[in-house]
């Protein structure tokens, strides 16, 4: 036991001196998280929609919308609403994008609708604001549907032999809605952009950080120090334990420092510390296991480092550490679940919804499964080989 710690302490001081562990474990993930948080516009909560209208109709129906619906839209802060008297001025603003979508009520619109001929309202949207335009469409469509509903009611009644259209209009306008939309609030289990990139970079670089420990056995052999260690009166498990401890301490330290630094410096929200700690420890173990397998099947430290970078980068990409894969095609989403990265990020996301600690159990178990399976493979593949003199 003591021997393992001595070996770990030696490895750690070596790593700190050559600075590459600090570079990959701290500087790189922190630097990239900083850059990402600076370049991603903060969209949470504020989604600007700017609407405008030109009322050439000046009739009952257009004013019903302009004075009855739009003020509520503005009051609910769904959108800002502006009025134009001149169509050309309004069009210039939509074209430049200062106004996202413009309603144009043409002359004679109300008259046409009341005469039973229907009618159309122009909605001009800026090409880069398709979502705003779609929202503008939906707001107006909801209002027009109400007007159409009255028309349909009257038409249907007349078809069945009703006589007095005027009375029907009144009755139809007062008839209650038959289908209503009720809301169910869903929790938010997605990380905000800053937290996502902080956590994503942390777990991506974790796989590079832990390789310093697991691969150092190959270095000991390469530099001829392994036979000396084997000749010492210590158990072979102490040697392996020492290397694993090095990886574990390096990995966990870098994760903890990154979590604290991103929280303080760029406002990342990692969530419940106990839950985060459980996820981090499972994640570090999974990373050690996977990197140990690569180290065991490699012949030289250089070969190990090469293959470890390939594995770390591939798993990181599939695990969605650089960009979220939540809306990726199903096949990609499936492969994503075959990486510890995806489970780590999912665990953090679930934790952020605030449903308590139980949500980390499955992600943690998934990562620990990676650990157990990969360690078993490493032990079997490395038996009689890794510690051969």
Q: Which residues contact 385 (CB under 8 A, 6 or more apart)?
A: 296
The answer to whether residue 300 forms part of the interface with other proteins (CB under 8 A) is no
Smallest gap, in angstroms, from Cβ of residue 383 to other proteins?
26
Q: Which two tokens stand for residue 124?
A: 């001009």
The residue with tokens 């790189």 is: 28
Which of the stretches 131-139, 245-253, 270-278, 281-289 binds other proteins when contact is defined by CB under 8 A?
131-139
Find the binder of other proteins among 13, 67, 159, 224 (CB under 8 A): 159
Q: Which is nearer to other proteins, 145 or 274 (CB)?
A: 145
Find the binder of other proteins among 10, 17, 58, 122 (CB under 8 A): 122
Which of the stretches 2-10, 216-224, 322-330, 368-376 binds other proteins when contact is defined by CB under 8 A?
322-330
The answer to whether residue 124 forms part of the interface with other proteins (CB under 8 A) is yes
Q: Which long-range contacts (CB under 8 A, 24 or more apart) does 73-79 make?
A: 73/139, 78/49, 78/135, 78/139, 79/49, 79/50, 79/51, 79/132, 79/135, 79/136, 79/139
The answer to whether residue 170 forms part of the interface with other proteins (CB under 8 A) is no
Please check whether residue 242 is in contact with residue 7, taking contact to mean a CB–CB distance below 8 angstroms: yes
The answer to whether residue 32 forms part of the interface with other proteins (CB under 8 A) is yes
Smallest gap, in angstroms, from Cβ of residue 387 to other proteins?
25
Q: Which is nearer to other proteins, 88 or 228 (CB)?
A: 88
The residue with tokens 């605030």 is: 354
Number of residues that bind other proteins (CB under 8 A): 110
The answer to whether residue 233 forms part of the interface with other proteins (CB under 8 A) is no
Please check whether residue 83 is in contact with residue 133, taking contact to mean a CB–CB distance below 8 angstroms: no
The answer to whether residue 81 forms part of the interface with other proteins (CB under 8 A) is no
The answer to whether residue 353 forms part of the interface with other proteins (CB under 8 A) is yes
What are the φ/ψ torsions at residue 327 (nearest 5 degrees)? -110, 25
Residue numbers 234-273 binding other proteins by CB under 8 A: none
The answer to whether residue 86 forms part of the interface with other proteins (CB under 8 A) is no
337 three-class SS: coil
Q: In what order do the strands lie in the sheet with 101-105?
A: 80-84, 50-55, 101-105
Find the binder of other proteins among 127, 166, 224, 231 (CB under 8 A): 127
Find the binder of other proteins among 233, 329, 384, 389 (CB under 8 A): 329
Site string for other proteins, 175-204 (x = CB under 8 A): xxxxxxxxxxxxxxxx--------------
Which of the stretches 7-15, 136-144, 214-222, 365-373 binds other proteins when contact is defined by CB under 8 A?
136-144
Find the binder of other proteins among 94, 234, 280, 295 (CB under 8 A): 94
Residue numbers 139-158 binding other proteins by CB under 8 A: 139-142, 144-149, 151-153, 155-157
The answer to whether residue 56 forms part of the interface with other proteins (CB under 8 A) is no
Q: Which two tokens stand for residue 186?
A: 């869903």
Q: Measuring CA to CA, which residue among 245, 263, 264, 241 is closest to residue 253? A: 245
Find the binder of other proteins among 5, 44, 337, 354 (CB under 8 A): 44
**DSSP class of residue 191?**
P
The residue with tokens 């949500």 is: 359
Which of the stretches 250-258, 266-274, 286-294, 306-314 binds other proteins when contact is defined by CB under 8 A?
306-314
Residues belonging to the chain? 389
Q: Measuring CA to CA, which residue among 131, 137, 126, 147 is closest to residue 63? A: 147
The answer to whether residue 126 forms part of the interface with other proteins (CB under 8 A) is yes
Cα 45 to its chain centre, rounded Å, is: 15
The answer to whether residue 38 forms part of the interface with other proteins (CB under 8 A) is yes
- DSSP assignment of 222-255: HTT-HHHHHHSSS-HHHHHHHHHHHHHHHHHHHH
Burial class for 56, CB neighbours closer than 10 Å (0-12, 13-18, 19+): middle
Find the binder of other proteins among 20, 89, 225, 300 (CB under 8 A): 20
Q: Which is nearer to other proteins, 40 or 232 (CB)?
A: 40
The answer to whether residue 95 forms part of the interface with other proteins (CB under 8 A) is yes
Cα separation, 304 vs 207, whole angstroms: 13
Q: Which is nearer to other proteins, 271 or 349 (CB)?
A: 349
Cα separation, 233 vs 15, whole angstroms: 25
The answer to whether residue 346 forms part of the interface with other proteins (CB under 8 A) is yes
């Amino acid at each position: 036991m003591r021997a393992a710690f001595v070996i770990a302490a030696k490895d750690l001081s070596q790593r700190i001196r050559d600075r590459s562990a600090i570079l990959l474990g701290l500087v790189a993930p922190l630097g990239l998280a900083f850059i990402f948080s600076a370049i991603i516009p903060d969209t949470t909560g504020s989604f600007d929609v700017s609407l405008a209208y030109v009322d050439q109709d000046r009739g009952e129906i257009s004013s019903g919308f302009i004075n009855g619906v739009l003020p509520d839209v503005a009051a609910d802060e769904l959108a800002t609403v502006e009025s134009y008297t001149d169509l050309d001025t309004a069009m210039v603003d939509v074209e430049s994008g200062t106004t996202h979508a413009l309603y144009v009520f043409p002359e004679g619109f109300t008259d046409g609708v009341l005469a039973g001929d229907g009618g159309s309202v122009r909605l001009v949207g800026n090409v880069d604001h398709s979502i705003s335009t779609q929202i503008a469409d939906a707001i107006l469509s909801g209002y027009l549907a109400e007007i159409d509903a009255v028309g349909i009611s009257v038409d249907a009644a007349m078809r069945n032999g009703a006589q007095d259209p005027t009375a029907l209009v009144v009755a139809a306008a007062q008839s209650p809605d038959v289908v209503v939309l009720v809301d169910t609030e869903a929790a938010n289990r997605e990380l905000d952009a800053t937290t996502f990139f902080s956590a994503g970079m942390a777990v991506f670089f974790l796989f590079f950080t832990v390789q310093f420990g697991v691969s150092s056995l190959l270095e000991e052999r390469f530099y001829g120090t392994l036979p000396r260690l084997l000749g010492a009166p210590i158990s072979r498990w102490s040697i392996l334990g020492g290397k694993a401890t090095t990886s574990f301490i390096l990995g966990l330290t870098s994760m903890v420092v990154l979590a604290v630094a991103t929280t303080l410096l760029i406002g990342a929200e990692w969530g419940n510390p106990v839950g985060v700690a459980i996820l981090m420890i499972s994640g570090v173990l999974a990373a050690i296991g996977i990197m140990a397998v690569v180290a065991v099947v490699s012949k030289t430290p250089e070969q190990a480092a090469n293959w470890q970078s390939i594995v770390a980068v591939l798993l990181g990409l599939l695990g969605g550490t650089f960009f979220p894969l939540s809306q990726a095609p199903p096949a990609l989403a499936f492969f994503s679940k075959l990486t510890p990265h995806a489970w780590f990020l999912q665990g953090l996301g679930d934790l952020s919804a605030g449903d308590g600690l139980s949500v980390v159990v499955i992600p943690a178990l998934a990562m620990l499964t990676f650990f157990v399976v990969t360690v078993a493979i490493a032990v079997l593949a490395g038996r009689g080989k890794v510690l051969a003199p």
